[in-house]
Every structure is written in structure tokens, then in C-alpha cells.
Structure 1
Amino acid sequence: MGASNWGMIWTAVMPLAVILYYFFRKKYKDQRVSSTMFWQERMKELKASPYLKKLQHHLLFYLQLAALLFCVLGLLGPFSESETLAGNNFIFVVDTSATMLAGSPTHFEKQQEEMKKLAAQAGGKPVTIVTTGASPEVVVRNEQDQRVLERAIDQLEVRYEKAEMEQTILFADTLAANESTVIHIFTDSLDRAVLANKTGQRYQVHGFNESLRNVSIEQFGLSETEAGARGIVQLVNNSEDPLQATVRLSAGNIEKTAEVELEPSMELLVPFEELPNEKLWQATVEVEDDYAADNTMATYLAPPGNAVVIDSSLHELIASGFRSTDLEVHLAESVQLEPDSALPLVTNQSELLDGTAPVLLIGRNDEKAFEVAGEIEAQAHPLFTYASLEDVYVSQLYPPFEGFETIASIDGHPFIQVSPEGDIAVLTDIQLTDWPLYPSFPLFLWSAMDSLSGDAAFLGFFQPNEHRSVSLASDTGEWEIFKDGTYLYSYIEGSGPFISPSEPGVYEVIGEQETRNMIVQLANEEKTLGAGSSYAMGLATTAQDTVRFSFVPYIIVLILLLVAVEWEVYRRGIATR
């Protein structure tokens, strides 16, 4: 509260003059008194409260005095001040990465309260809310209703994936209406270098400078040994204090523990020997820190699937197709291929099907091809989830294998078969088809390697909200995702890429007749807490402006109302005379 024109305080003499006028003006009134005794009593009463009597019988006096007092107040120019956000348009960039769950209450909860406070100070100006991630999302756009903004802020959730702040800020820049738009970034910490070269917009970063205690599981791996499985858990103490922790490994009803002590900024490898032959294990570190999202990590004991050995006698388009899928390709002579290799083999030597190595057979070296004509008929199978065989031309086929399942055929003749052990046989040579000219060819090779090198019960490792092509096929075309027995959502084949859940953990992907496990893991960037600060960059000078709200318009209305009432009182007084 304040007044903008204190020089007009002298006008306070006007209501004082009116009071003096009413006090000392003479007004005679005829009154009959029956006797001298009553006259004396009457005079005593008037002398006891002369001024009060005068005031009680003059309503016009009260109204005039009130009007004059409000006039004096209006001339002083009273006002109130409040803070409002600087700018005419606002964009809230909200960090939804896992590190926002640090602290108690969490950084995310604190930022939600800060966003509500700033939304209230926006004063009805449009606000846009954008969440971070690989695919930034607009929650609300140019919203002016404060209740809608508060409801949208309350519904925000941490999505655990990397913030990808630079990408999100570039996206927010495209939403800015003009130079009066201010971008508020709500995060835990943001390096000033990210905004160093951005001078076209105004940025206000809201961060935290507190140092929190954190112990994280950086890596957790399993390997097979002669005495059983061996597990190694890598711990990192990102704190300035020494901490004691308990490392716990579990698989079903099996549990192993180890007590460790971590010095500040210490990395420690915790080995576990002679573990039972279980595939799926989970490591947990029990420690009193301020960030729990990186205290758990799961892994699966599966053979490596990032390399393949190709028979050098095959057409070079096969090696080119595998290289396009980012696999490590090893070329070997036909006589050098080992039937007991740990890596998948790609060859035309049928005798290698008897070995333990997984084999993708393309053609046959023990049979002669025969001519065929017709379209390819493919059955529902994970190998064809993304590799359509429409319009592919095949001129010749080799005889099929007995006891193999036929998953694609031409004119009733088997084209692609799968052995009971999971080996895949493509019964033609690459030079006898135009398949390499189609995008489905490298996709089929990728699906084949995923099938040969992977575990049929394990879908793979994912990061939160990761979009990926996966080999899933069922009769119904629908897969349900569960965690700890609770249904989460469904994935429909062909509806787009598979999107992993946002929260880290072990999940079950259940089809009509098949159940596969998948593991969602935090990115390593989300296992380190950083202390930041709040600052302004770009064209931003102040985060808030001070706005004055004048009471003069309301005082003028009140004065006019008093004048109207005063006139009505005066009119009625004249009418009753």
C-alpha cells in the first residue's frame, strides 16, 4: 500500500472546516417550556452534551463529511503493489528426467509449487507448458485460465528418460511468439553453456544448489563360469560423506548379500561368485541417500547378439545388409566356420545345422535348385513383423528340410523354414531373387539375428520410453505389458514402434501363447546428481516486474454514490417541511 501524491495532504483541512462549521453555526428552534423549573432542567441537558446532540440530528453532515474524506483520499492517489512475471508470453520447460526425484520433498514437487506460484503471477497472460525428453511434448499451449494451468501442473509426472535439454529448448524456441516471450526452465541443474549462444529469447532457469547424498549402481553384469554364474556390481558414491551400504542380489527365492563401506567419490566393484544358474537377476543397494531411482538394476544372462560370422563365399549383398543393421560382421572362409561357435553363422553349408552354433542358412550346398513361379505366402511369425515379402520375386528354390516348420512358401513349396532348434533356412540364393532391392531384406536379416542370438524368453534391454522395433508376432496381434502382476497397457502389432514403459524395472510382455521378459534401465546420465543454480540468460534482465493497482477509480465511484444518497436525504428533508 502507498500514496502517489502526498503533496495533496493539505486538502484534509476541508472536512475539518465542515466540522467546525457544523459545531459553531447558530440554529434557533422554538420550544415551549411550561415552567421555570422545567426550563432549568432543559438547559442542563443541552449543556451536558451539546456537540453530540448536534451530530445525532444531522445525517447530511455525515454524508458530506464522508464524501470530503474520500475526496482527500482520492487526491492522495492510494495504490497497492504486486509482483508479476516479466514478459507478455511464457513458456514453462519442465524437466521430467529421473534426477528430479532427488531430495525430500523431491525437486520435481518443489518445481511444481514454483510453477503454480509463477502461473498465478502471470496475470492472465498466456502460458505454454512443455515437458523434456527425446520427444518433447506440449501439455498446454497459450493457456490463460489459472485453474487449468494448476490442474495441468498437478498432472505432470516424472518420465525417467534423459532430459535432452538442448533439444527441448530448441523446440521451445519454435513456440515463442516474439521477443516478449520468456522461457522459464524448471530443472535441477543446467549448464550455462547450453544457453550461452542463445540471444534471441529470454530465459529464466530455476535450479537447485543443494548437494545431496547419492550412491548409484553404475553397472551390473553376469557371466557364465564353470562354477556357475558370476555377478559384478559397480557402485559409485557421488557424495561428500562416507556411506555404509548393503548390496543385495536376488533371483526368485535366491538371495545374496554383501556389506560395503564407500568413501566419498569412491567407485567399488562388488563381486558375487558361484551364483545359481538363473537368467534374470536384480541388484539392489540399501543405503541412506537422497535419490532412490538408481539404487536398483536388473540384468539378464543372455548370449551376446551384436556380431555375426558370414561365409565369404556368399553374395556380398548379404554382408552389406548386415552392416546396415549396425552389427559387427566377420567374414570367414567356408572351411573356417566352426559348428560350435558362440556367434551366429550365415552360410549355405547344410551340415553346419548339426552343430550348436545358431545358423542362418541362405541356399543349400547339397541340393540343386528348381524353378518356381507365384507370390510368396507368409505366415504370422516374428521374422515378418517388419519385413514384408510382398512383391519379392524368387525364380528358383531348393528342396526343403524335413521336420522344419515352414513359415513362408511359394506356390506350395517351402521358401523359409525354421528348425526345431531355432535355426533359419532361406531356400534360395540371393542371386536368384530381387529381395535385396527391397527395404524388407535388411529388416529380415535384423529379425533373423535377433531370433538367433537372443533368448526366446527375453525381449531385451530398454531405456525409459524408448521407441524401438521389436520382433513380436502372435495370432491375436496384441501383447499385454505387466509389472509385478499388474496390467499396464497393450501393444498392438503394426500400430507403430514398440514403446517401453517409463519406470525402470522388470516387465512381462505377454502374448496369446508366449511370455517374454524385458528390462527397463536408467541411462547413466540419470545416475549422477548435479548442483545447479537459478539465473537469467539471453534478453532477460529481471524475472519479475512490479505492477501498481490504483484505488482512485473505486474511490470516485464511492464518492458519486455518497453524493446521490446525500441528494436523496436533502430532497426528503425539504418535502417534510
Structure 2
Amino acid sequence: MTLLTSGFLWFLLLIPIVILMYILKQKYNEQQVSSIYLWNAVLKDMEVNTPWQKLKKNLLLLLQLITIIFLVFALANPYINFKGIAANNYIIVIDNSGSMSALYNENTRFEEAKNKAINLVKTAPKKSKFSIISMEEEAKILLTNSSDISEIINSIKSLKTRNSSADINESLSLVKSIGKQYDSYKAIFFSDSSVELSDINGEFVSLALEKDNVSVDYIAATLAENEGKVLVKVTNRSNSDVTRELAIYDINDTLLNVKDMNIKAGETKTEIFQMVLNNTKAIYAEISEKDGLIEDNRRYYVINQPKTKKALLVTNKNLFIEKSLSSVNNLELFKTTDINSVDDNYDLYIFDGMIPEKMPHKGSIFVINPEGNSEFYAVRGNLSGGVAEIEENNVTKYMEKADFSISEIKDIEFPYWGKSIIKVNDSSVAFVGEYKGRNIGVLAFDLHNSNFPLIAEFPIFINNITNYFLGASFSDRISYFCGEKVKINAIEQVKDMYIIKPNNEKEGLDLEYPIKDFDDTAKPGVYKLIQNIESENIENLFSVNFPAEKESNINKELVSQENKAQNYEDIRRLAFSIQPYLILLALMILLGEWWVYLRS
């Protein structure tokens, strides 16, 4: 038998109070009477109520105590378990995201989670059934409803970290889905991220410990002939100031440059390197000192792809945008001041302060400081500016801390398909979007009326937005995070195609259309896509990096918690409640007590 609301048992303290009422002597006032006929009855009554004397047998007292006991236990809602409310069905959820590679005492958090899960399996009651879920970029069910101890333990041991971000909500949905097949269950989450159990009957086992960590969050390179600039962003996620050595290497691990960085606690710092890159295809930035999470100490960047795109810049004079675009990899930049000389031979059109009467029929379009209306937007006038507010978008990645002002903006009526990327005073001043298969973007202010080009995030913005407009030759992108799928666009005449991973493993790709996305991106590094066309091999590179923005904040500590979500509906369905019978018995005893009282 189990009590559903055991807190009502505190009312059993009424029992000693009732007993005390029976053993305490009642106090009488002296009173003159006309007769002593009743003295004998009074004497007997005083003897019964002598304080602290041995409690005599009293049927009324016994009936009252039994009534209290029955009523209190009725309030506690007891039920008899016929089908097993105690959970022998376990759902184990193990977080194998990037942050779980962080240190946990002498082990990693991930290895500690697996050890705890295996210990749970070994100590669980016999014939317990287990389901195993991995919490990664896409939660996966590894095992369901198994009572084979060796199979369960092998399933846990086979798990590996994915270095990706985790989808907690998807894991919760899977737990609820699996839990529906059981009368009762218990889910155990092993993670270093907070899990909201709410209506799940389960337990959160925290693997989070405060650890110092410095992460390389971003790297980009621009080329002008053989001279290169490399921009790197580093964040100190520790509670104290640190000094770190930041080095730049090429794809062959040759040291290109190195600097010492002094970074305050919680600070994000940008460093720019000048160096000769020659024919370097890819580089990486690395912090050599070990800390709580080693995986985010290195970041890769592909700087040389074989296919060149063409862009036309139509402007009277804008050195900011011209200089930034001239250093973009694999972009051949053409310039003109004649708005009427625009044709359809370019991959990207940039209109600065002017637009043609008729827009090009193909290619991406980026309008800066628009004058007049077009099919993509409408200009309603000018507004006073203010401080810019960056909105979350792929185009504004790594720009969260950008701080700049604009003196004057255009009041633009944006299309329904446009996504705002920059706001001023709650008014959107920049948007990007796809319209009829083309990428379109508008920056509704003059760069000369802003300090935007003067801040460190401006080169990042130009790099992001050109990647958005132009994409890559073999795929939509050339930069990915661990765990993300890579969409492969095969060349029409390709005979054979494969990928060489950072550890030099070779994985062949099926050429049957549609080509399956490449998803083995757990290891950070530079990947090579090789496409064979008769006797020629075409090589394309793409980088895969640790998701530092989501997984590097390991300097926190969480408390484990347990949640019991067994509800009244489950109890009625699985067990037999004796509450109404206790109430009925209590009423019968009260009637009996009344009858005894009348007779005495």
C-alpha cells in the first residue's frame, strides 16, 4: 500500500490531544447545595478525572481515536498497487553534445555520464526494462524496452560525443512518446544543461561543474594578392583574467603567426593578423594552453575555393564597401557609376545610393541606401537615426556585441518575405530574404552616415553577407558546425565522388539522385570533397567547427533534481484506492459512538 498525499499524516497529532483531554482533571467551583443526594456521583466523577492517573478503559475514547485514524488515512489517499507503480521501466537519456567533452574531475562529463548510467543498470531491480536515448543535434533512440543487461551496457558504451549542440526539446518529446507504452516509468537525464522535467516522471543528474575555458569563436581571412588579413575572435568564459597564446597555422600545420592576448573575465576580444598566405587553401587559429574544454581551442577556415564569382558594384564612391568586397575570396569585383550599363552577366549586384529602372533578371541583389521604389521594397521617406540593434540571423552571426550608431535612416516598407537583421528605434533598417529563387538584401542607410564600417564586426558582416548571396560552388556553404549535414551538389559529368575527413579517412558518396547529405561531421577540421571527371579530380574544401557559441559556456554548476509526475489519472488506472472505504468506516464508527453515548 502507498500513500498518495502523505502530508496529511501530520493530523495524527490530534490523537495525543484527545487522550490528554481524557486524563486531565476538570476544575470545579465551590457551590452550596440543598441536598447531598448526588455527592456519591460527584465523587466518582472526580476520581475519574484525577490528573495524570493511569488511563482507564473508555469505549468512547477508543471509538474517537479509531475515527481520527481512519479519517487521517482517508485524507492521505492510500491505494493498493496491483500493477506496479514503482518504476521498473527506465528511460536513460545521455547528453553527448559538445560541452559534455569538458572536464569532470579526472574524467570528461560524457564518460562520467556513461559510468553513472551503467551503474544504474547494474543496480536496478531484476527484469527492469531500459530504453536509451542520445541527446545530440537530433535526439536518437539507441535501444528500446530491453531487459538484456549486456545489451544495455554495450549500447551505453558505444555512445560517442558528437561535438554538436543538443536538442533538449526533441529528447523530451521522445521520452514522452516512449513513456506512453508503459503503465509507469522513470526517465533519468545525464546532462550538463538544465532539463525542465515538468510533467515527466524522472530525474535530472547534473554533470555541470565550474571550469575555466577560453574559446576561439570566429575566424575569417581576406586576401589582396598574396597579402592576407586574418581576423580572430576569442572569448574568455572564465571568472578571472587570463593570458593566452593565439597562433595561426596553415592546413599543413605550418606556423604562420602568433600573438599573446590578455583577456579579461567574460570579455570577447578580436585580433587581426597580417601575413603572407600565398596559395594557402585553409588555415586554423589555435589556443595552445589546455583548459576545461579543449575542443573549442581551435577553429578552421577555408580561404581558397577554385570557382570565382562575379559581382558588379554600382556606386559613385563608397570606399568602405569597395575595399571590403575587393578582399573577399573568389570574388571578381567589377565597378561602374553608370546605372544604365547594368546587364545580366553577374552573380551579385550591389547598388549603392542608386537603382536601375529595371532590375536584372538573375543574380543576387544587395541595395545600400536605396533611392526610389523597386519591386522589392518601397521608400516612404527619411527618419532620424539612433543606436543599431542586431537581430539574430545567419548574416549577423558573431555580431551580437556590435555597437554602432546611424545618424539618418530610410523609412522602408519591407516585403513579407524579408527577414529583419538590423533595427534602429524599433524600425528595421536592413533585411535579407529569398524572392523567386533569388537572394535579396537591403541596407536602408548610407554607410557614410554611420560608424558601422569602423568597428571590428563590419568585416564579419561583409563576409557573412557575401557568403549568403554567393554561396559555394559545391554546396550551399563552405563552413559548418559539428553535427550539421552537408548538402552536396555534384558536377554533372562526375564519375566518382568521395570525402576525405580530417583524420584522412575516405568515405565514398552515392551518386544516385538525389545525393544524400553528408552527416559524419562530428570531428572538427577541414574536409575535402573530391569529384572525379574522367581523368581530372576537382577538389573542394569545407570546414567543420565546434559550436562555441552554444556549447563553450561550461563555467556553471547545476543541481541535480527529481520530479514525480505520477498523477491521479495514473493512480486510478493502475491501482485500487481504499479512501472511500476508510471514510465509510469512519462514519459508521461515529454512529456507534453516538449510540454508546446515548446508552451511557
In the alignment, residue 88 of structure 1 is paired with which amino acid? N
> 1:213, CA displacement in angstroms?
1.1
> 1:171, CA displacement in angstroms?
1.8
In the alignment, residue 501 of structure 2 is paired with which amino acid? K
| 2:220 counterpart SS class | strand
1:143 aligns with 2:143: no
- Higher alpha-carbon deviation: 128-137 or 221-230: 221-230
| 1:142 counterpart SS class | strand
Aligned positions, number: 341
Give RMSD over aligned pairs.
4.1
Instruction: Quote the residue 1:93 is aligned against.
Output: 93
| 2:499 counterpart SS class | strand
* Cα distance change of structure 1 residues 451 and 259 upon mapping to structure 2, 3 Å threshold: closer
Query: Which one of the candidate residues 321, 340, 346 is aligned to 1:335?
Result: 340
* Cα distance change of structure 1 residues 307 and 159 upon mapping to structure 2, 3 Å threshold: farther
1:190 aligns with 2:194: yes
Q: Is the 8 A contact 2:219 2:233 kept in 1?
A: yes
Q: Which structure 1 segments of 5+ residues have no match?
A: 1-84, 312-331, 347-356, 362-440, 542-577
* Cα distance change of structure 1 residues 144 and 217 upon mapping to structure 2, 3 Å threshold: same
Q: Is the 8 A contact 1:125 1:144 kept in 2?
A: yes
In the alignment, residue 337 of structure 1 is paired with which amino acid? V
Instruction: Quote the residue 1:32 is aligned against.
Output: none
* Residues 3-402 of structure 1 aligned to structure 2 (within 5 Å): 87-103=87-103, 104-123=106-125, 124-176=127-179, 177-178=181-182, 180-191=184-195, 194-195=196-197, 198-199=198-199, 201-225=200-224, 228-251=227-250, 252=252, 253-277=254-278, 278-301=280-303, 335=340, 337=342, 343=348
> 1:109, CA displacement in angstroms?
0.5
Q: String of CA shifts for 1:345-376, please: whole Å, max 9, x gaps.
A: 99xxxxxxxxxx9x869xxxxxxxxxxxxxxx
Q: Is the 8 A contact 1:189 1:533 kept in 2?
A: no
Q: Is the 8 A contact 1:462 1:500 kept in 2?
A: no
* Cα distance change of structure 1 residues 500 and 516 upon mapping to structure 2, 3 Å threshold: farther
Q: Provide the rounded CA distance (Å) in 2 between the counterparts of 1:130 and 1:122.
A: 18
In the alignment, residue 526 of structure 1 is paired with which amino acid? E
1:463 aligns with 2:503: no
> 1:209, CA displacement in angstroms?
4.3
1:453 aligns with 2:470: yes
Q: Which structure 2 segments of 5+ residues have no match?
A: 1-84, 315-336, 352-359, 365-435, 441-465, 568-600
Q: String of CA shifts for 1:223-257, please: whole Å, max 9, x gaps.
A: 23588221121111111233331111012435211
Q: Provide the rounded CA distance (Å) in 2 between the counterparts of 1:220 and 1:190.
A: 30
| 2:348 counterpart SS class | coil
Q: Provide the rounded CA distance (Å) in 2 between the counterparts of 1:511 and 1:100.
A: 36
Q: Provide the rounded CA distance (Å) in 2 between the counterparts of 1:465 and 1:486.
A: 18
Query: Which one of the candidate residues 537, 542, 558 is aligned to 2:563?
Result: 537
- Higher alpha-carbon deviation: 508-517 or 468-477: 468-477
Q: Provide the rounded CA distance (Å) in 2 between the counterparts of 1:333 and 1:537.
A: 69
| 2:144 counterpart SS class | strand
Query: Which one of the candidate residues 509, 515, 529 is aligned to 2:539?
Result: 515
> 1:133, CA displacement in angstroms?
2.6
* Cα distance change of structure 1 residues 272 and 160 upon mapping to structure 2, 3 Å threshold: same
In the alignment, residue 184 of structure 1 is paired with which amino acid? I
In the alignment, residue 190 of structure 1 is paired with which amino acid? S
* Cα distance change of structure 1 residues 141 and 534 upon mapping to structure 2, 3 Å threshold: same
Q: Is the 8 A contact 2:479 2:543 kept in 1?
A: yes
Q: Provide the rounded CA distance (Å) in 1 between the counterparts of 2:437 and 2:344.
A: 24
* Cα distance change of structure 1 residues 518 and 540 upon mapping to structure 2, 3 Å threshold: farther
Q: TM-score, normalised by structure 2?
A: 0.50
In the alignment, residue 233 of structure 2 is paired with which amino acid? Q
Q: Is the 8 A contact 1:204 1:540 kept in 2?
A: no
Q: Provide the identity percentage.
A: 16
Q: Provide the rounded CA distance (Å) in 1 between the counterparts of 2:244 and 2:135.
A: 33
> 1:300, CA displacement in angstroms?
2.4
> 1:475, CA displacement in angstroms?
4.7
Q: Is the 8 A contact 2:190 2:205 kept in 1?
A: yes
* Cα distance change of structure 1 residues 308 and 143 upon mapping to structure 2, 3 Å threshold: farther
> 1:489, CA displacement in angstroms?
2.2
Q: TM-score, normalised by structure 1?
A: 0.52
* Cα distance change of structure 1 residues 179 and 243 upon mapping to structure 2, 3 Å threshold: farther
* Cα distance change of structure 1 residues 105 and 488 upon mapping to structure 2, 3 Å threshold: farther
Q: Provide the rounded CA distance (Å) in 2 between the counterparts of 1:129 and 1:238.
A: 32
* Cα distance change of structure 1 residues 269 and 202 upon mapping to structure 2, 3 Å threshold: same
Q: Provide the rounded CA distance (Å) in 2 between the counterparts of 1:241 and 1:345.
A: 45
Q: Is the 8 A contact 1:182 1:540 kept in 2?
A: no
User: Which of the pair has more CA radius of gyration?
Assistant: 1
* Cα distance change of structure 1 residues 226 and 306 upon mapping to structure 2, 3 Å threshold: closer
Q: Provide the rounded CA distance (Å) in 1 between the counterparts of 2:438 and 2:344.
A: 25
Q: Provide the rounded CA distance (Å) in 1 between the counterparts of 2:238 and 2:172.
A: 30
1:499 aligns with 2:519: yes
Q: Is the 8 A contact 1:467 1:498 kept in 2?
A: yes
Q: Is the 8 A contact 2:190 2:206 kept in 1?
A: yes
> 1:481, CA displacement in angstroms?
1.7
Q: Provide the rounded CA distance (Å) in 2 between the counterparts of 1:210 and 1:187.
A: 11
* Cα distance change of structure 1 residues 273 and 163 upon mapping to structure 2, 3 Å threshold: same
* Cα distance change of structure 1 residues 502 and 305 upon mapping to structure 2, 3 Å threshold: farther
